[in-house]
Amino acid sequence: MFCPRRNAALLKEREADRFHDECGVFGVHGHSEAANITYLGLYALQHRGQESCGIVSSTGREHYVHRSMGLVADVFGEKTLEKLPGRFAIGHVRYSTSGGSQLRNAQPFCATTDGGTVAIAHNGNLVNAPSIRRELEGRGAIFSTTADSEVIVQLLARSRERSLEERLIDALSRVKGAFSLVVMTPDALIAARDPHGFRPLSLGRLDGAWVAASETCALDLIGATFERDLDPGEVVVIRRGRLRTLRPFTPVETEHFCVFEHIYFARPDSNLNRNNVYTFRKELGRALAREHAIPADVVVPVLDSGNTAALGYAEESGIPYEQAMIRNHYVRRTFIEPAQAIRHFGVKVKHNAVRGVLEGKRIVLVDDSIVRGTTLTKLVTMLRSAGAREVHVRIAAPPTIGPCYYGIDTPTREELIAATHSQEEIRRLIGADSLGYLSLEALSKVSGGLKHGTCDACFSDKYPVAVEVEKVPPQLSLFREVEEER
Ligand code: AMP
C-alpha cells in the first residue's frame, strides 16, 4: 500500500544519498601484493569514510571483489585478503548519511559490459546525477544502488565509444561536479580528476608499481614514493607499467580544490596538492589569534579536529597550550552518528575534561568548525563544570552557512546553526563567554599561500558548479535491505 509519509522518508533518503558522500579511493597496478597494499592504503584513508569499504583485485583474466559494511580492519582479515589475488587492485572507503548506509552502495562498483569488465571507486559528488539517472531510467536502465556514482557505470556501459577507456571519458564528459576516481579495466588502472579539481588524488611508485591514492598519507604508510598529484581535468592510464596522460575535458578557468579538505577533512600528515595540511591548519590558528585575541590562561583544542589550529593560536598569542580534554579514541566521529539523540550522547563519551588544568582558568577553546553546534554546547558545559572560569570559543574557519554538494557530508542548510542564527545567538546557544570565527577574508589570505585555487562554497555560499536539486517522482519507492538476524 502507498504510504505518503514512508514514501517521503524514502525519497529524502534517496536525495540524501546523492549529495552526501565522503570517500577515499586507492589503486595499485603491477604489484605482487596488490590486495594487501590496497588494504593498507585504505587503512590510512579510513578517516575519509567509516561505513563501508571494499577491494576489487584482478589477475587480468579473473576479478575478485569483497565489499562490506564496517571499518577496514574489521572487514578484511588475512583469509579474505588471500582470496583477492592478482597484481592489480582498487579499493574504496565510504561514509554517507544514514539513508545511504547500505551494502548495495558500498564501492568499488563492478560491471560487466560488452566492452569488458570494469570496477570504479569514486570520491566526490555529481551534481547532475539525478537528471542523468532519470533520463536513463526513462530509457529502461535499471539501477542497483542509490549512489550518484552509479551513473558513471551506467553511462559507460551505454557509451558507443570503442574501448573502455574511451567509454569512461565519454561518461565523465557528461557528469558535472566532483570526481576523483580510480578505475580498473582488464588491463589498465585509470585515475581521473574533474576539471575543477574538487577532491585530491595523488600518484606514487612502489617497487616499480604505480599507486593512486586520495591522500599522500596512504602513500607514506605503504612506503611508496610520491610521484605527483593529478592535475584538475587529467586522466591517467596506467597499462603494462607505462603511464599515459590525457586531458579530454573542457578546462575551467580556475581550480576549485575544496578548502575544507585543508581545514578539517584530510589528515594533517597529508600534503594536498603539495601543501602540507598540518602547516596550513597552524597558519589558520595564527590568523585566528590575530583576529580574535582575548586575555586567557590556556588554549585548549577540541581533539582531534581543533588540535593543529590550537597550536597555531597558542604560538601566536603566547598563551600556553594544554590538552585539557582527553579524547576517547574508541568512539566514532560524533558528527556521523545517525540519530541526533545518539550524537548528544556521543559527545560525552568522546571527551572528558582534565579538572586539574581547568580549575579557575580562562580558557580559549579552539575547534575547526561548528556544524549543528552540538559538540561545542556539550564541551563548553563540560569545561565549566570542571571549574573553568571563562570559556572563549574560537573557530579556525568562517561560519558554515551552506551544505557541500561536492563530496563533504554536511547536513541541510536548515540544520547548519550558522545559516539560521547570528553569531551572538550561537554564542548564547553554546554557552560561551565569547565566540570568534576566522573571517572569510583571513581564510582567503591564508589560502592565497596554497599552490591552487579553492572552493569555499560552504562559507561563502558561492558554488562554482550549479547544483541540481531535482524532485524524484513521488511514486518511486525503494527496496530496503534487511540484515540477517542470528
Ligand atoms: P557539530 O557538533 O554538529 O557542530 O559538529 C562540529 C564538529 O564536527 C567539529 O568538531 C568538526 O570538527 C566536526 N565536523 C565538521 N564537519 C564535519 C564533517 N563533514 N564530517 C564529520 N565531522 C565534521
Alpha helices in 52-196 (DSSP H): 72-75, 78-82, 129-138, 150-158, 164-174
Q: For position 95, what pLDDT does the model report?
A: 87
CA dihedral sign of residues 164, 169, 174, 178 = positive
Distance 374 CA to ligand 1 centre (A): 9
Mutation choice for ligand 1 from 333, 371, 382, CB with most ligand atoms inside 8 A: 371
Which cell is 272 given? 594536498
Q: What letter would DSSP give residue 414?
A: G
Return d(Cα 478, Cα 469) in angstroms, integer. Answer: 19
The answer to whether 180 and 200 have CB atoms below 8 angstroms apart is yes
Return d(Cα 369, Cα 10) in angstroms, integer. Answer: 30
Q: For position 139, what pLDDT does the model report?
A: 95
Give which of 53, 97, 94 is closest to 77, Cα–Cα: 53
- By alpha-carbon position, which residue is closest to atom 8 of ligand 1? 335
Mutation choice for ligand 1 from 19, 259, 375, CB with most ligand atoms inside 8 A: 375
Specify the pairing of strand 351-353 against strand 325-327.
antiparallel
Q: For position 168, what pLDDT does the model report?
A: 98
Q: Which residues are registered as beta bridge partners of 365?
A: 300, 393
Distance 97 CA to ligand 1 centre (A): 13
DSSP string, 195-225: TT--S--EEEEETTEEEEESSHHHHHHHTPE
Distance 129 CA to ligand 1 centre (A): 26
The answer to whether 347 and 374 have CB atoms below 8 angstroms apart is yes
Ligand 1 environment, Cβ below 6 A = 264, 302, 305, 333, 335-336, 367-375, 408-410
Give which of 309, 311, 347, 354 is closest to 430, Cα–Cα: 347
Q: What letter would DSSP give residue 339?
A: S
- By alpha-carbon position, which residue is closest to atom 19 of ligand 1? 409
424: number of Cβ within 10 Å: 9
- When computed from its CA atoms, the radius of gyration of the chain, rounded to whole angstroms, is 23
Give the number of the atom of ligand 1 that is nearest the alpha carbon of residue 417: 4
Give which of 306, 346, 336 is closest to 323, Cα–Cα: 306
The answer to whether 200 and 176 have CB atoms below 8 angstroms apart is no
Q: At what angle do helices 374-385 and 340-350 cross, to 10 degrees?
A: 40
Can you list the domains of the chain with their CATH numbers? Answer: 13-256 (3.60.20.10), 278-329+347-460 (3.40.50.2020)
Q: What letter would DSSP give residue 292?
A: S
Distance 369 CA to ligand 1 centre (A): 6
Specify the pairing of strand 434-437 against strand 390-395.
parallel
State pTM to two decimals.
Answer: 0.92
Give which of 112, 152, 161 is closest to 132, Cα–Cα: 152
- Cα 119 to the center of its chain, rounded Å: 20
Q: Kindly give the parts of the chain with pLDDT less than 50.
A: 1-19, 98-99, 334, 471-476
Give the alpha-carbon dihedral of 193, 194, 197, 200, to 10 degrees: -30
- By alpha-carbon position, which residue is closest to atom 5 of ligand 1? 371
- By alpha-carbon position, which residue is closest to atom 11 of ligand 1? 369
For 385-416, write each residue's pLDDT tens digit. 999 999 999 999 999 999 999 999 888 999 99
**Residue bearing cell 579539481:** 197
Q: For position 475, what pLDDT does the model report?
A: 37
Q: Residue 424: enclosing H or E segment and its boundaries? A: helix 423-430
Catalytic residues: 23
Mutation choice for ligand 1 from 51, 369, 459, CB with most ligand atoms inside 8 A: 369
The answer to whether 43 and 221 have CB atoms below 8 angstroms apart is yes
- By alpha-carbon position, which residue is closest to atom 3 of ligand 1? 372
Give the number of the atom of ligand 1 that is nearest the alpha carbon of residue 411: 19
Q: For position 14, what pLDDT does the model report?
A: 44
For 193-234, write each residue's pLDDT tens digit. 999 999 999 999 999 999 999 999 999 999 999 999 999 999
Distance 201 CA to ligand 1 centre (A): 23
Which cell is 27 given? 589503486
Give the number of the atom of ligand 1 that is nearest the alpha carbon of residue 368: 12
Distance 370 CA to ligand 1 centre (A): 6
Q: Which residues are registered as beta bridge partners of 72?
A: none
Q: Residue 9: enclosing H or E segment and its boundaries? A: helix 4-19
